[in-house]
Amino acid sequence: MKKIITLITITLFCIFTVNAQGKKSREKIKALKIAYLTEQLNLSSTEAEKFWPIYNAYSEKQHELRNIIRTEIKNTVKENGDINSVSEKTAERIIKLKLATDKKIYEAQNKFIDDIKKIISYQKIMQLQVAELNFGRKLMKKYRHKKGNSKD
């Protein structure tokens, strides 16, 4: 009985550790992004105080919207075995959902710009766009480099 309880405890610990690591890595990336964007934008303390709540809400909304379509596509492919087995009607539904989601993403971007232009200049908004792209590139480069080293 002690062995079973020990085994169950170890199994649960491992499951929670793996799950927590996924969340930790997302949080770590988020923290790195915040630090990178803060440095690139050179926000004053007043700007940063107003900027980050709006940016974080916008970022969360973008993530939610993109996750909707990713999940729907993933589930549809999984249900049908592969992408080639998806019916035309189902594919049409997915594409219409994607277009509707893209429209919501666009609307969220417009709202974000409208809100943020009251806090930072258009020049800093452009700097934000460039900094986000550069952060994504650096992250992917680091990921590829790590992945390449693990193959050795």
DSSP 43-68: --HHHHHHHHHHHHHHHHHHHHHHHH
Lowest mean pLDDT segment, chosen from 54-63, 115-124, 140-149? 140-149
The closest alpha carbon to 48, from 128, 111, 106, 126, belongs to 128
Q: For residue 7, is pLDDT > 80?
A: no
Contact 69, 101 (CB under 8 A): yes
* Residue 87: DSSP 8-state: -
pLDDT at 44: 86
